[in-house]
Structure 1
Amino acid sequence: MIQPGDRIPEVVVQHITPKGIEKTDTLALFGTGRTVLFAVPGAFTPTCSERHLPGYVSNFDAFRERGVDVACMAVNDPFVMQAWMQSAGVPEGLRMVADGNAELTRALGLELDASSYGMGIRSKRFAMLIEDGVARQVFVEAPGEFRVSTAENMLEAVGG
């Protein structure tokens, strides 16, 4: 599992933009500046849609005021991520990242086998602060919990 001080693995993912779906690599997304990357087990799932993503949407301006970008990742295809972005009112600039084959999730060591729920391999719920391509802080939720990866916790972590 990725640890503070580790470089973010270089993996190609699909980034949802106002222009559509673009393939990009993690170096382009996270190689410079400060970014909070949070991941959810699945778009349109209860906690993810009712609490996790909405917390980052409502606190997006507070992150930007601190000079921090925000990216949301899920092991879903880019079309699902695009629909979720639209239905959740995600502001322009909050990056939506589709890791459809769980390549980045696996490279981070944060995969979750949700096969018993009919969902296959997903991402654990987590949030991390990335600075210039290096994980500085990593918060991984215990199964069934939603505490350390919240927008409010990450706002505290990034400081003012």
Structure 2
Amino acid sequence: MLENREGQRVPKTQFRTRVDHDWVNVSTDDVFAGKTVVVFSLPGAFTPTCSSSHVPRFDQLTDRFRQLGVDTVACISVNDAFVMNEWKEAQKAENVVFLPDGNGEFTDGMGMLVGKEDLGFGKRSWRYSMLVKDGVVEKMFIEPEKPGDPYGVSDADTMLEYLAPNSAKPLDVAVFSRKGCPHCARAKGLLRDAGIAFEVLELNEQYTDRGLRAVADATSLPQVFINGDKVGGADDLENWLANNAIADEQRTAA
């Protein structure tokens, strides 16, 4: 039975990290003392759910967490420093601190070290997340104990809902673009001026004209999508931003 450690201090241990070509010991005091830290722990680097969902969403929401008083977002896995460094680079997760718990000492101290021998993993971490304030666990979200690798409560959005119930989530924005396109540059400038983060997809790099037609039913560029909805080109985006600014002002006034 996995134990909820809310109200308890995190275990004291050392994380053996690699910085450039040197070993650097990072203590739990270095990570947690005097800080508010969001931690998410998972079974293994480069594994499917961890790479496709768990890490990317925490990385995307880190700026929002910081606005809510979080100092650090940390990922802990029972993997060595070399693996964790390579995984961080592969994930392009610049906002998240990756902490290698190669011997499982921190995970064991949290009561979250479980056997994954059926997968050839040995001992690994159960999937969970927690909010830690000055070394004391305030809140834990532990995945239910059932076969497989459940993933439903330790995600970044659940943590965000705990920190700021019913608050608006950051927009998910993608811009289908082409290098050298002035209208594309204008659309990206409008988003930057509005303080909206976005992902750029470049023609003939991440997609082709066929992909653009399939997704946007269009051939002109840019094509901007927000939260799954097609906004359109730069003029359409400008109108969308103006209308949504008015809606935001009305909500604030109300």
Q: Match of 2:80?
A: 77
1:147 equivalenced with 2:140 (yes/no): no
Q: 1:52 to 1:77 in 2, by over 3 A?
A: same
- State, as a whole percentage, how many aligned pairs show the same letter: 36
Q: Match of 1:38?
A: 40
Structure 2-normalised TM-score? Answer: 0.59
CA RMSD of aligned residues (A): 1.8
Per-residue deviation at 1:67? 1.8
Q: Match of 2:236?
A: none
Per-residue deviation at 1:14? 2.6
Per-residue deviation at 1:41? 0.2
Kindly indicate which of the two structures has a greater share of residues assigned to strand: 1
* Cα separation, 1, equivalents of 2:76 and 2:88: 11
Amino acid at match of 2:157: E
Amino acid at match of 2:160: L
Which range is displaced more, 99-108 or 53-62? 53-62
Select the residue among 4, 7, 10 that pairs with 2:6.
4
Amino acid at match of 1:84: W
Per-residue deviation at 1:22? 2.2
Secondary structure at the aligned position of 1:149 is classed as coil
Q: Match of 2:122?
A: 120
Q: 1:105 to 1:147 in 2, by over 3 A?
A: same
Per-residue deviation at 1:15? 4.1
* Cα separation, 2, equivalents of 1:123 and 1:145: 13
Q: How many aligned residue pairs are there?
A: 159
1:90 equivalenced with 2:103 (yes/no): no
Asked if structure 2 preserves the Cα contact closer than 8 Å seen for 1:16 and 1:96, the reply is no
Q: 1:15 to 1:131 in 2, by over 3 A?
A: farther
Structure 1 stretches of at least 4 aligned residues deviating more than 6 Å after TM superposition: none
CA shift digits 1:54-90 (9 cap, x unpaired): 1111111111111212000000000000000000011
Q: Match of 1:25?
A: 27
* Cα separation, 2, equivalents of 1:15 and 1:154: 26
Q: Match of 1:133?
A: 135
Structure 1-normalised TM-score? Answer: 0.92
Residue segments in structure 1 that go unaligned for 5+ positions in a row: none
- Bigger relative CO (Cα 8 Å, ≥ 6 apart): 1
* Cα separation, 2, equivalents of 1:18 and 1:58: 25
* Cα separation, 1, equivalents of 2:121 and 2:41: 15
Instruction: Please say which structure displays the higher CA radius of gyration.
Output: 2
* Cα separation, 2, equivalents of 1:66 and 1:17: 29
* Cα separation, 2, equivalents of 1:41 and 1:103: 14
Residue segments in structure 2 that go unaligned for 5+ positions in a row: 168-254
Q: 1:96 to 1:34 in 2, by over 3 A?
A: same
